[in-house]
Amino acid sequence: MKIVILLFSVLITVYGKEAHKKKEDVTCDGVYLHGKFHRKEVLSNGVNRPYQLSYYNNTVFFSQNIGDDKKDTFEIAYVRHGQMMPEAINKTTNGFATTVDRKHELIYFGGSDGVYVHNFKEPGEIKHIIKYHDIWDMFFYKHLYFIVYPSLRLHKKVGDIIEIIEHIQEKIFQFAVDGDDDIFITTRDGLYEIKNGTSERILYEGPKIFRALEVNHDGVAFFCGQNAIYIADKEKYKLEVVAHIRNVFGLTFDDDNNMIYSNPHEIIRLLPEDCK
């Protein structure tokens, strides 16, 4: 009889520990990135389709939809770490794009009436530097690159001069340059790489539709598909999954190179640690 009671007690203890472990697993909210568990930290919620994320000075800048069911209308907003509630930047009309020049401490906002710039060294001042262009997307690499709607042609701002990029004549949705100075562009046919110093387009295996391209502080390009986040295998010219996350709208990286992404209603930072 004592043996039966002892076995029963052991089973209850084991079951209790397993149940507690399963309960912890359920409440432990995170994802695997590069095969390592990362805890989710929600930086903001209640936002509506936050696109075009940029990060600087403990602040995430983004575009969000403020329209109704019949018409999309966009604005640029930002959320500081620890505040959760975003604040709008009302300078831009139909604000749709953001990018950062970290070296010169500048943040660019693009909308239907052109590009504005804010210098972090001059709080409160936002200048209208490019007019008469409807901005679709932006990327900063040595100079400001931007895609104009509806032509979807790539342009570059050098000083006060606006140049159209002649060697990229196709309509593109996104543009990025990685740490090897290789170019990535997306078209209706998918993702292409253009090696530094060449003009050949190399089509990648994998998904064809992307919501965001972003390069981290190590120069690695990341690509947000409909069901996952990818990096490029630049020898086999195919995409490798680094995180299974659905419905990603935007992507950026904080000062410590931690990934920040958005889904339809949240902005989330991934931290390489277990839930506590």
Q: Which superfamily does CATH assign the domain made up of 30-271 to?
A: TolB, C-terminal domain (2.120.10.30)
User: Is the pLDDT score of 139 beyond 50?
Assistant: yes
* Nearest by Cα to 52 from 269, 272, 260: 260
Q: What is the pLDDT of residues 8-23, one digit of tens each?
A: 343 344 444 444 444 4
Residue 155, SS3 per DSSP: strand
CA distance 223 to 229: 6
Q: Mean of the pLDDT values across residues 130-145?
A: 97
Count of beta carbons in the 10 Å neighbourhood of residue 156: 15
Strand order across the beta sheet in which 161-164 lies: 134-141, 143-149, 153-158, 161-164
Least-confidence region, from 36-45, 66-75, 87-96, 115-124:
66-75
- Count of CA atoms in the C-beta half-sphere (13 A) of 119: 7
Q: Which residues pair with 145 in a beta bridge?
A: 139, 156
Say what the pTM is: 0.88
State how far the Cα of 129 lies from the Cα of 113, in Å rounded to an integer: 10
pLDDT, greater one: 256 or 67 = 256
Q: Is the pLDDT of residue 27 over 80?
A: no
Q: What is the pLDDT of residue 12?
A: 40
176 vs 214: CA distance, rounded Å: 7
> Side by side, which strands form the sheet with 238-243?
212-215, 221-224, 229-233, 238-243
Model pLDDT, residue 276? 66
Q: Give the DSSP H or E segment for 40.
A: strand 36-45
Residues written for the chain: 276
What mean pLDDT is reported for the chain? 90
Q: Which two tokens stand for residue 107?
A: 């943040």
pLDDT by residue (tens digit) across 49-96? Answer: 999 999 999 999 999 998 876 788 999 999 999 999 999 998 899 999
Domain boundaries, the chain: 30-271
Q: Which of 101, 94, 93, 57 is nearest to 78 (CA)?
A: 57
